[in-house]
Structure 1
Amino acid sequence: MKKALAHKAWGAVALAAAAGLALTACGGGSSEGGESAKGEISYWLWDANQLPAYQQCADDFTKANPEITVKITQRGWDDYWSTLTNGFVAGTAPDVFTDHLAKYPEYAGKKQLLALDDAVSKDNVDLSQYNEGLADLWVGQDGKRYGLPKDWDTVALFYNKKMLADAGISEEEMKNLTWNPQDGGSYEKVIAHLTVDKNGVRGDEPGFDKNSVAVYGLGLAGSGSGQGQTEWSYLTGTTGWTHTDKNPWGTKFQYDDARFQESIDWFAGLTEKGYMPKLETTVGASMPDTFAAGKSAINANGSWMIGQYTGYKGVEVGIAPTPEGPEGKRASMFNGLADSIWAGTKKKDAAVKWVEYLGSAACQDVVASKAVVFPAVKSSSEKAAEAFKAKGVDVSAFTQHVEDKTTFLFPIADNAAKVDGIMKPAMDAVVSRKAPASSLTQANEQVNALFK
């Protein structure tokens, strides 16, 4: 949940703290932890949109367990991970926190996470209640479980209905887009036609001024670093290309593959044509906010952003499936968050109770009722879809990926922070057209050297 979303990989601060984390790995957090089942436990999350739902879960939990209270802290994405990493080093990390697939392998490797296997067995936690594959994502290379699933997400296309109508593009056309890396297919044609310069000339019309654009056909949040969860993975995933040789726990990345580089070259080319904002203009900007301001017509984004896009006043928003690719199928990265316990907690039993409650239908039904994300529990996920429908929001573009099995996993591998440290500047250079897509071959060699 990229980044939002989200759902990004490690930031620079996390890299800086890695050395300190390594020093505390042996003695910082014991897997035994404290045994107390009483008192206050701390719980961190990064998504402000989900805070009300989890506060209700915390209140309900305390009613059922009067001896335990939960203090929730919400932090923005970048601050969240840097503070958490520093907390591991300083011994001030929260008892329980929302975890990400890009993070937990290194945390588990540094012995900062409490294995949940004994608790899951002792308390008869039903792992089959979760959507297929989610529980398995949180089993590390050592075979131990480090989180209980909380939600899942896929990617779709948010679009401005009025802009579509003004351009003479039907919503049926939006639902049946095709794409290929050679000419962009009908997806590029739609993006071009929805692009309008400051003189009112469309991107596919004579006289279009690509240096003076009022409305971009496709919004841009960033280069996507090495994952491209919402930026480009829904495209590269239709070509047969995969991030790694196997997933999870791949040891060979494949950014040197011709299919990947051709796809990224097409993606970056949209900025040259004036159909997508230049990368440097996105720094510090919010893609959803610029969408709401009428500066872009289509935004590819994750299901965790449904509430934000549909909550803007004065903007009628539609949601379309991602385009079909060269192999005749759609694709979406499938990501799932979980709640993990810090190995250094002094209140292990209370923390375990809270994590098990977070992973239960009782809490996930509450999350579902708020119509913000899709919970991991299958029955709760279905209730979330109904809650969205009750708000007048059709979320089938997201759920269709799961139903049709057109998803692929977020790349789970060791050295995530170091991989991101290499791929972010490499991808930035390509998307900003300061380097050719072929330069990713050298970056790929640097990444794979990490695993030798």
Structure 2
Amino acid sequence: MTNPITRRALFAGGASALALGALAACSSPGRSSGRATGGATGTVSYWLWDSNQLPAYQAVAKAFEQQNPGITIKITQLGWNDYWTKLTAGFIAGTAPDVFTDHLTKFPQYSDLDVLYELDELEATASIEDADYQSGLAQLWKGQDGHRYGSPKDWDTIAMFYDKKAMARAGVTPEQLASLEWNPDDGGSFEKMVAHLTVDGKGRRGDESGFDKNDVAVYGISANGSGGDGFGQTQWSPFTGSTDWFYTNKNPWGNRFWYDDAGFQKTMSWYYGLAEKGYMPKYGVFSTTTGPDVQLGAKKVALSFNGSWMIGTYANLPGLDIGIAPTPVGPVGHRASMFNGLGDSITKQAKNPEAAAKWVAFLGGSTAQQIVGRAGIVFPARPEGTDAAVAAFEKRGLDVSAFTRQVEDKTTFLFPVTRNPADVQALVQPAFDDIYANGKPVSTLTAVNDQVNTLLQLT
């Protein structure tokens, strides 16, 4: 995974948005009707971006080819920074893959541009059932027209990574980390813990007299940007979610955002205030390529919020004994995590769509999901795949219950899916960046919220 920090949280903004405009001019003028036909033979090209998962999917391809001797799978792995640019260019040039790993911030515009197959058009994928996957994941891949554009692949939640040895030196137990609570008034026991774990250049902790917030050696909590580029998934969403606030009026396909909500803005003021107090790095302390995992590995932070797709990365950090704690309980009495998932989509450029559909159906099936689960990289979308992943992590001595309990306890909220995500992001991201980087008041989100809602209601 070339840029795992933003794996779940990147929209097609800027130049990519312009490319999508060009793509609109090249896309087919109308949707196809009826199921595609054609013998399921030949080579199916498949793209993914996560290098950590490449070996697992090579094993999946081998198992598929054994069951389907007339089909060969050709896998291409591209780094995250190149993946979407090359995919969009491929749609325009006619060189897109047959099947690709898709993202919830992308498929709404790709489906609008008519470059994706409706999976219910294709025989092998027409029978995908929502109930076969973790609750809610499959529904997110249905467009406003009711058609499915992606087959669920995996899921993720958010938790806090830490170094067990460092916590022991600070006199902090796993039980204490697991019982933290927060509120937007004084931060609760969570803020007290973050203050205690923050240490200045002279060895004074953030909860001790004389602490110098302008000379911090170890921050209590890691930085990961403003969160404006992806709904704050690994930044502030565990806090806003645990107030029972949600982004839009409905999900999927909400047409009104709630960034103007007073409770949300109070939470954001508290969150960004952690940087002002010296407990969280301010903008620019670390480069944009120094992610939360690198910060923890360099022992510059004590707690590192991140997604379950990063478990293996943290576990491989040299010299650290990694522990994982759940997100803190919020003011309404429960903890919370965004529940997100990737999917596999078929492009209208697929040379043999029925062969591609067989591959996608296999990817979402029990056999493939258990192969991926046993690799111990991510949590596959099917429960049996999740169980295989949990067992694989346990064999490595990793307790991942902080991630899975959110799903078991139903303390998750689904990733918000809207139309025109690139345009929404183009409005929202600069506003959040201005708050975190330039100290603009959180109240500036109100005007931006009005712009976003106008955009959504006009489309």
Match of 1:432 in 2: 437
**Which amino acid letter does the alignment assign opposite residue 192 of structure 1?**
A
Deviation of 1:272 (Å): 1.2
Question: Which residue matches 1:239?
Answer: 243
User: Which range is displaced more, 158-167 or 416-425?
Assistant: 158-167
* TM-superposition CA deviations, 1:96-115 (whole Å, max 9, x none): 00111111111111101101
> Greater CA deviation, 249-258 or 53-62?
53-62
1:8 to 4, 7, 10: 10
Secondary structure of the equivalent of 2:109? helix
Q: C-alpha displacement at 1:202, in angstroms?
A: 1.1
Q: Which residue of 1 aligns with 2:334?
A: 329
SS across alignment from 1:98: strand
Pair 1:295 & 2:300 matched: yes
Question: Using the alignment, how far apart are the partners of 2:160 and 2:275 within structure 1?
Answer: 18
Measure, in 1, the Cα distance between the counterparts of 2:326 and 2:291. Answer: 22
State the distance in 1 between where 2:310 and 2:143 align.
28
Greater Cα offset, 79-88 or 412-421: 79-88
Match of 1:224 among 218, 224, 227: 227
Q: CA deviation at 1:372?
A: 0.7
> Quick one: which amino acid aligns to residue 117 of structure 2?
L
The SS at the match of 2:208 is coil
Q: How far does residue 78 in structure 1 lie from its aligned partner after superposition?
A: 2.8
CA distance in 1, matches of 2:421, 2:429: 12
Q: 2:151 aligns with which of 143, 148, 155?
A: 148
Counterpart residue number, 1:376: 381
1:19-418 superposed matches below 5 A: 19-27=21-29, 35=38, 37-119=40-122, 124-225=127-228, 227-280=231-284, 281-418=286-423
SS in 2 for 1:249: coil
Q: Distance in 2 between matches of 1:262 and 1:236?
A: 10
Deviations 1:26-52 (A, max 9, x none): 359967778353322211111111111
Partner secondary structure for residue 279 of structure 1: coil
Whether the aligned pair in 2 keeps the contact of 1:256 and 1:441 (CA below 8 Å) is yes
What secondary structure sits across from 2:73 in the alignment?
strand
Distance 2:6 2:54 in 1: 14
Q: For the residues of structure 2 that align with 1:129 and 1:305, how far apart are their CA atoms?
A: 25
Which whole-Å CA distance do the structure 1 matches of 2:429 and 2:359 have between them? Answer: 36
What are the ranges of 5 or more consecutive residues in structure 1 without an aligned counterpart?
Answer: none
Identity of aligned residues (%): 52
Is the deviation greater in 74-83 or in 408-417? 74-83
Q: Are 1:33 and 1:344, in contact at CA under 8 Å, matched by a contact in 2?
A: no
Q: Which residue of 2 aligns with 1:420?
A: 425
Q: Give the Å deviation of 1:402.
A: 0.8
3-state SS, counterpart of residue 17 of structure 1:
helix
Contact 1:43 1:72 in 2 (8 A): yes
Amino acid in the other structure paired with 2:310? M
Letter in 2 for 1:14: S
TM-score computed with the length of structure 2 as normaliser? 0.94
CA contact (8 A) 2:124 2:358 kept: no
CA spacing shift, 1:446–1:157, aligned 2, 3 Å: same
Equivalent position SS for 1:339: strand
- Structure 2: tracts of 5 or more residues without a match: none
**2:97 is aligned with what amino acid?**
P
Deviation of the 1:121 alpha carbon: 7.2
Aligned-residue offset at 1:7: 3.4
What is the rounded CA distance, in whole Å, between the counterparts of 1:221 and 1:125 in structure 2?
Answer: 36
Query: Structure 2 vs 1, CA of residues 102 and 110 (structure 1 numbering), >3 Å: closer, same or farther?
Result: same
Give deviations 1:321-347, integer Å, cap 9, x for gaps.
110001001111010111000012112
CA distance in 1, matches of 2:38, 2:93: 21
Contact 1:33–1:343 (CA<8 Å) still a contact in 2?
Answer: no
Deviation at 1:122, TM superposition (A): 7.5
| C-alpha displacement of 1:306 | 0.7
1:17 aligns with 2:19: yes
Report how far residue 85 of structure 1 moved: 1.4
Give 4+ residue runs of structure 1 displaced > 6 Å after superposition. Answer: 31-34
How many residues matched? 452
The residue identity in structure 2 corresponding to 1:198 is: G
